[in-house]
Amino acid sequence: MIRAIRACKTAAEERAVVRKECAAIRAAINENDQDYRHRNLAKLMFIHMLGYPTHFGQMECLKLIASTGFPEKRIGYLGLMLLLDERQEVLMLVTNSLKQYPARLALCALGNISSAEMARDLAPDIERLLQFRDPNIRKKAALCSIRIIKKVPDLAENFMHPASSLLKEKHHGVLITAVQLSTDLCKVSSEALEYFRENCIEGLVKTLRDIANSPYSPEYDIAGITDPFLHIRLLKLLRILGQGDAGASDCMTDILAQVASRTESNKNAGNAILYECVETIMSIEDNGGLRVLAINILGRFLSNRDNNIRYVGLNMLMKAIMVDAKAVQRHRATILECVKDSDASIQKRALELVYLLVNESNVKPLTKELIEYLEVSNQEFKGDITAKICSLVEKFSPAKIWYIDQMLKVLSEAGNFVKDEVWHALIIVISNASDLHGYTVRALYRVFQASTEQESLVRVAVWCVGEYGDMLVNNVGMLDIEEPITVTESDAVDAMEVAIKCQRLGLTTKAMALIALFKLSSRFPSCSERIKDIIVQNKRSLVLELQQRSIEFSCILQKHHNIRSALVERMPILDEATFTGRKAGSLPTAVSTSSIIPCNLPNGIAKPAAAPIGDLLDLSSDDAPPAPVSSGGDFLQDLLGVDLSPASAP
């Protein structure tokens, strides 16, 4: 049958062969053919593994289990584990033979498919088999007990004493299952946890010490380490027992220090033990010296050539930083090297760890390192690292000038990867830093002249030039750290014209540049005619928003000189608290202007005190209804009065 199925070239041929074989097996079942029953069940198991239905053979498993011969019983139990699961009602018909060899098969089946009902019925028999003379039976009974307490946690107290007795075994197979049984008992029962803390801690520590110090044993040796699997199981159990209990933790500190310091890390088996040892040290009650030792081990993990070990080390350090951040800080240089790793998973995890490492004392050097890496990082990674840098700078900035400098570096390197909220926040900070207006506009002008590829940077630059262009030209507020720069009024207008005509820049950026030009028409009287010409050129723009604004601005420049100076006044200082609250979604989206003093324009018209900031550039007639309050946190609406929503059809 297997050869025939493997010879099939199409799925249809395979289905035909399987249908034929299933029909023959059904016929044999109906005829109660006992001689070939075990062979038919073996065929059904193969068919089941191919994904075809074999429910009609379930009763054959029970018949073979009930037979007298061991080969038939073996096939029957194997079929039982494969063809049935705990939800099948026919499981209740299973009769377990308690002879030695069939009992092993029965225990294997029970450990794999036992339901809650079967667990309750067979728990007394399993308890008795935990004391059986054959170690293989005891081992399988312990594994069955794990299944039973998971299905019926109420039975956990019945297995506490047998499990503690098995922890004294010398046979490693029985011992490792006993340790696992004890671990699961502690997880499902608080009574069991207290029982093992009181009665088994010293014995477990002694067992772990004996295994760690045992001479070479070829039966259990893996890479020069005696039974690393048992090492790991014991460490996991000690971790559970030590959590929240200072006395239990004190009992195991010496052996944990011994395992951590003596285990070789040049093989995977040793690294696995060290990992579990570190996990245990970080989980038990406070011991400063042990934790430093554990974090040093993780530092060595970061220098390993194996990517998996480095990733595991980073994961553990993220947990350790919550417990002992000072010790983790010592490995900062190694962690930063991991940020530059070629493996994307290690990069992301290391970046998350660096983010957790930053505080007020180290924000400057760490931010410098991250920005340097941003310059050479891959495009797909720039988004993550940019978001982290912006968050760190905003959270731990020691001074506004440092904040502005770092944000300009990020925007000039990866401005296309930042969210709108980032450059919105930068404008808010610039608005509030009155002593840095000149410094900021000059810095932005420099980077704008170097490149217009980063759109977020261009937006901040054109806004600042529009607001503080006179400071740029007159070198107002020069700082000692600045290099002298000569910018004429014509140069500033050229920069805005470049932004308007640049094809790769979006509508928002061009609209901001157009408004900046309009503001400069009042600040730069010598360039007013040129600015007027540029605005008139945009009256023919195919973009409705630009065309509309150009027509409005042109009308003001030609017919309403008396109100222009009031319209292009500098923006009032933007409220940082309001913007922060709006980002968090806890405040209304419109900036409150209840405290703004009514503005008396030269033509005698008084603007209402409650007008939103968006009305600063609104050119609607005085008798028009007030504009509705913007929704959705539209920062540009507040900042510029620019309506960027799609135009409705005429």
Q: Report which of 212, 229, 298, 308 is spatially closest to residue 263, judged by C-alpha positions.
A: 212
Whose tokens are 């294997």? That residue is 108
Q: Report which of 325, 401, 409 is spatially closest to residue 367, judged by C-alpha positions.
A: 409
Helices in 84-115 by DSSP H: which ranges? Answer: 100-113
**pLDDT, tens digit, 9 for 90 and up, residues 354-394:** 989 998 888 999 999 888 888 888 888 888 888 889 999 98
The whole-number pLDDT of residue 380 equals: 81
Residue 558: Cβ-neighbour burial (10 angstroms; 0-12, 13-18, 19+): exposed
User: Does residue 600 sit in helix, strand or coil?
Assistant: strand
CA–CA dist 52, 15 (Å, integer): 9
The whole-number pLDDT of residue 583 equals: 58
Strands 225-226 and 221-222: antiparallel
* Residue 525 domain flag: yes
**pLDDT, tens digit, 9 for 90 and up, residues 418-456:** 888 888 889 999 998 888 999 999 999 998 888 888 889
**pLDDT, tens digit, 9 for 90 and up, residues 538-590:** 888 888 888 888 898 888 888 877 777 788 788 888 776 666 665 555 433 33
CA–CA dist 27, 538 (Å, integer): 88
* Residue 88 domain flag: no
Residue 433: Cβ-neighbour burial (10 angstroms; 0-12, 13-18, 19+): middle
CA–CA dist 559, 199 (Å, integer): 96
Residue 606 has pLDDT above 80, yes or no: no
pTM score, whole prediction: 0.68
Q: Does an H or E element contain 48, and which?
A: helix 37-49
Residue 647 vs residues 71, 142, 320, 515, 640: alpha-carbon distances, Å: 82, 74, 55, 19, 18
Q: What angle do CA 123, 183, 99 make, to 5 degrees?
A: 35
Longest CA–CA span in the chain (Å) reads 112
Residue 143 vs residues 57, 148, 168, 190: alpha-carbon distances, Å: 27, 9, 17, 21
CA–CA dist 627, 634 (Å, integer): 14
According to the 3-state scheme, what is the secondary structure of 414-452? HHHHCCHHHHHHHHHHHHHCHHHHHHHHHHHHHHHHHCC
CA–CA dist 639, 458 (Å, integer): 16
* Residue 620 domain flag: yes
In angstroms and rounded to an integer, the radius of gyration of the C-alpha atoms of the chain is 38
* Residue 628 domain flag: yes
Residue 319 vs residues 46, 328, 336, 538: alpha-carbon distances, Å: 46, 10, 17, 58
239 within 8 A of 252, measured Cβ to Cβ: no
The number of distinct structural domains making up the chain is 1
Tokens of 378: 């891959």
- pLDDT winner (highest mean) among 154-163, 336-345, 482-491, 609-618: 154-163
DSSP bridge partners of 222: 225
111 within 8 A of 147, measured Cβ to Cβ: yes
What lies within 8 Å, CB to CB, of 172 at 6+ separation is 220, 227, 230
Q: What phi and psi, each to the nearest 5 degrees, are found at residue 468?
A: -125, 30
Whose tokens are 């002694």? That residue is 206
Residue 271 has pLDDT above 90, yes or no: yes
CA–CA dist 234, 205 (Å, integer): 9
Residue 62: Cβ-neighbour burial (10 angstroms; 0-12, 13-18, 19+): middle
Calculate mean pLDDT across residues 168-181.
93
Distance between the two ends of the chain, CA-based, in angstroms? Answer: 76
Calculate mean pLDDT across residues 588-610.
38
How many C-alpha atoms does 344 have within 13 Å on its Cβ side? Answer: 6
* Residue 371 domain flag: no
What lies within 8 Å, CB to CB, of 582 at 6+ separation is 588, 589, 633
Residue 66 has pLDDT above 80, yes or no: no
DSSP letter assigned to residue 221: E
CA–CA dist 413, 411 (Å, integer): 5
**pLDDT, tens digit, 9 for 90 and up, residues 175-208:** 999 999 999 999 999 999 999 999 999 999 999 9
**pLDDT, tens digit, 9 for 90 and up, residues 289-333:** 889 999 999 999 999 889 999 999 999 999 888 888 888 998 989
Range of the domain at 534: 520-640
DSSP bridge partners of 221: 226
CA–CA dist 472, 541 (Å, integer): 29
* Residue 531 domain flag: yes
* Residue 39 domain flag: no
* Residue 397 domain flag: no
CA 185 remoteness from chain centre: 32
How many helices (H) and strands (E) would you count in the chain? 33, 2
Calculate mean pLDDT across residues 128-145.
90
Looking at every residue in the chain, the average pLDDT score rounds to: 81
Say what the alpha-carbon torsion angle 553, 554, 559, 563 is, to the nearest 10 degrees: 20
CA–CA dist 589, 574 (Å, integer): 13
Residue 93 vs residues 60, 61, 65, 144, 421: alpha-carbon distances, Å: 12, 11, 11, 19, 67
Residue 171: Cβ-neighbour burial (10 angstroms; 0-12, 13-18, 19+): middle
What lies within 8 Å, CB to CB, of 558 at 6+ separation is 532
